């Protein structure tokens, strides 16, 4: 493209640039600039009221040498793996159930969507009430059928499990809607043709439904990986990362480093590691998006 052409092109899209300005300004100033600043901050030693000092990769070394960081990373991985995969299976099951017809569809749909309206704190209140270690209804029910109680406030693994349950419940509407919409988009003719050929329900699922849902499943999973990875409120409100920092996830670790221990350098290093991890998770998606967006300009 020559200089003159691009100038003329720019003048032609001037109104478009004005129209996207507010959105780009907000996102640039509130997200992009801070992230660049984080990258810089992660290479400096800094806390309240002290001059920052360039320390190279020392913050990263410190974070990577901190057993609590590894604990938090490990917890995050466990919770993300449980939440995303269970949620996907559950979402798929409910979506297929709805597609095959449920009685009282509007009411059922409202029930499935309801958690979307619930704030994290209310979700924590509900689940804590159910699983109150002494008198909660779920705890009582579990002991009635001979299960040991979920000691979420004492046993870190139980705590993480309750966090995972809560998270799945809270985000199921998202997964469900994407899978349900994708399922409804599958042409009925395919199933009719299969019926003529004498296909069993299981064959229908394996040969038609599942293959055609794969793109939607991948998109939903990708988004859920990225969003579950930043998990903060549920953990913070339910266990606060305790007991003894055993249920911290990365976002909680970052928060504590920054706002409780005033270790901005280490917190920034953690933050930058989280950004890089999120982008790596999304690499495949970003690449296909990039190709698609620039396809018309090739």
Partner 1 sequence: MIVISSFKMDRDIFTIPPKFIFSPTLSNYVGLWQRWGDFFDALLNSLIITSAATVLAVVSSVMAGYAYSRFRHPLLAGSAFFLVFIRLIPPIVITLPLFPAVNTLGLNDTHLLLIILYATFFVSLGTLVMRTFIDQIPRELDEAAHIDGATRSQILRRVIFPLSAQGMVAVAVFVIVFSWNEFLFAFIFTTTQAKTAPLVLAEMYDSVEGVEWGVLFAASTLQLIPVLIFVIAAQKYLVAGLTAGATKG
CB of 31 to partner 1, least distance (A): 5
Which CA distances in Å does 117 have to 6, 168, 173, 221, 225? Answer: 47, 14, 10, 21, 21
CB nearer to partner 1: pick between 54 and 202: 54
Q: Are 76 and 231 in contact (CB under 8 A)?
A: yes
Question: What is the distance between the alpha carbons of residues 261 and 263, in angstroms, rounded to a whole number?
Answer: 5
CB nearer to partner 1: pick between 87 and 120: 120
CB of 48 to partner 1, least distance (A): 9
Q: Are 216 and 134 in contact (CB under 8 A)?
A: no
Q: Name the token pair of 275.
A: 């950004």
CB of 264 to partner 1, least distance (A): 7
CB of 191 to partner 1, least distance (A): 21
CB nearer to partner 1: pick between 196 and 298: 298
Name the CA radius of gyration of the chain, rounded.
24
* Cis previous bond, 243, omega within 30: yes
CB nearer to partner 1: pick between 19 and 81: 19
CB of 100 to partner 1, least distance (A): 18
CB nearer to partner 1: pick between 16 and 145: 16
Dihedrals phi, psi of 44, to nearest 5 degrees = -125, 155
**Residue 227: in which H helix or E strand, if any?**
helix 210-229
Question: What is the distance between the alpha carbons of residues 55 and 45, in angstroms, rounded to a whole number?
Answer: 6
CB atoms within 10 A of CB 230: 15
CB nearer to partner 1: pick between 194 and 226: 226
CB of 73 to partner 1, least distance (A): 14
CB of 198 to partner 1, least distance (A): 32
CB nearer to partner 1: pick between 37 and 70: 37
CB atoms within 10 A of CB 66: 16
């Amino acid at each position: 493209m020559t200089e003159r052409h691009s100038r003329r092109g720019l003048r032609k899209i001037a109104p478009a640039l004005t129209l996207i300005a507010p959105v780009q300004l907000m996102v640039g100033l509130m997200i992009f600039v801070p992230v660049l600043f984080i990258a810089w901050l992660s290479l400096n030693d800094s806390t309240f009221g002290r001059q920052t000092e360039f320390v190279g990769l020392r913050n990263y070394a410190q974070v990577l040498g901190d057993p609590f960081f590894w604990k938090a990373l490990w917890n995050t991985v466990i919770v993300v793996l449980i939440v995303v995969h269970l949620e996907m299976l559950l979402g798929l099951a409910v979506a297929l159930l709805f597609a095959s017809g449920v009685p009282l569809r509007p009411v059922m749909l409202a029930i499935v969507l309801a958690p979307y309206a619930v704030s994290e704190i209310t979700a924590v209140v509900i689940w804590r009430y159910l699983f109150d270690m002494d008198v909660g209804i779920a705890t009582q029910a579990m002991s009635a059928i001979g299960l040991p109680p979920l000691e979420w406030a004492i046993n870190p693994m139980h705590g993480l499990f309750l966090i995972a349950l809560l998270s799945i419940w809270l985000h199921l509407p998202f997964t469900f809607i994407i899978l349900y919409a994708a399922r409804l988009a599958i042409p009925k003719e395919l199933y009719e043709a299969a019926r003529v050929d004498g296909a069993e329900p299981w064959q229908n699922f394996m040969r038609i439904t599942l293959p055609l849902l794969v793109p939607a499943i991948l998109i939903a999973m990708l988004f859920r990986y990225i969003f579950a990875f930043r998990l903060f409120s549920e953990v913070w409100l339910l266990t606060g990362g305790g007991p003894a920092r055993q249920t911290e996830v990365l976002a909680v670790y970052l928060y504590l480093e920054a706002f409780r221990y005033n270790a901005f350098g280490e917190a920034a290093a953690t933050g930058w590691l989280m950004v890089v991890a999120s982008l790596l998770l999304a690499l495949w998606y970003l690449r296909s998006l990039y190709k698609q967006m620039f396809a018309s300009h090739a």
